[in-house]
Amino acid sequence: MKTTERLLSATADIWAAYNAHPFVMGIQDGTLARDKFKYYILQDYLYLEEYAKVFAIGIAKAKSLDTMRLFSRQVNFLTEGEMNIHRGYMGAFTVSQEELSATPRALDNLSYTSYMLRVAYEEGEAEILAAILSCAYSYEVIAKTILKNNPRAAEHPFYGNWVKGYAGSDFCDGNVVLLDTLNFLTCNYTEDQLQHLTDIFVACSRYELAFWEMAWNMSK
């Protein structure tokens, strides 16, 4: 079994809960309240600022030029690509820089990003990939499941861009590289090392589910 297959098997129930969550279902059928989505966009933008730092630490931890380039490309994609989706929505909500700067990170957001940064500082390149993969790949899975359940979701005048962005080829192609690289880096890992990777991935997957719950409840 490939490492990524093991990780996904260990978190199957958690990942199944993503698309069953009322926040995600609201995007799927277009009924999500706009104030909840605004809250999510602001918190997720703040999350991505810290998430990009995890990849940046990965550049320093990389043991090969190829892995260094992978982390570097991801930093660029996050800051110039994914965060642009959020900037577009913040424009739709007329969020000013002052409002964004005054928005505190919710406790679940702070806990999640602090955990990933701790993994990045304390662990190696494969462990960093395991920490970020639950976010990167789950968004692809969520967006594609939304489209499977409701093909017209991509046409929604407000939420369609979010769905198309995470189901799009640019985002998904990046995930193929992340998955393949993690499998390559861990092909000779011991059982103890693989279990440690699994623990990291399970923790981050649980944080992902907590993030959706945080957004739904607009928790502080």
Which residues have a Cβ under 8 Å from the Cβ of 83 and sit 6 or more positions away?
Answer: 45, 48
Q: Give the CA angle between residues 35, 38, 42 to the nearest 5°.
A: 145
Are residues 159 and 153 in contact, defined by beta-carbon separation less than 8 angstroms?
yes
Catalytic residue among 82, 127, 135, 204: 135
Backbone angles phi, psi at 219, to 5 degrees: -75, 155
Backbone angles phi, psi at 112, to 5 degrees: -60, -50
208 counts as catalytic: yes
What is the spatial distance between Cα 93 and Cα 73, in angstroms, rounded to a whole number?
Answer: 29
Are residues 113 and 50 in contact, defined by beta-carbon separation less than 8 angstroms?
yes
Catalytic residue among 123, 125, 127, 208: 208
- Cα 62 to chain center, whole Å? 21
| Single-letter amino acid code for the residue at 189 | Y
3-state secondary structure of 107: helix
Give the active site residues: 135, 208
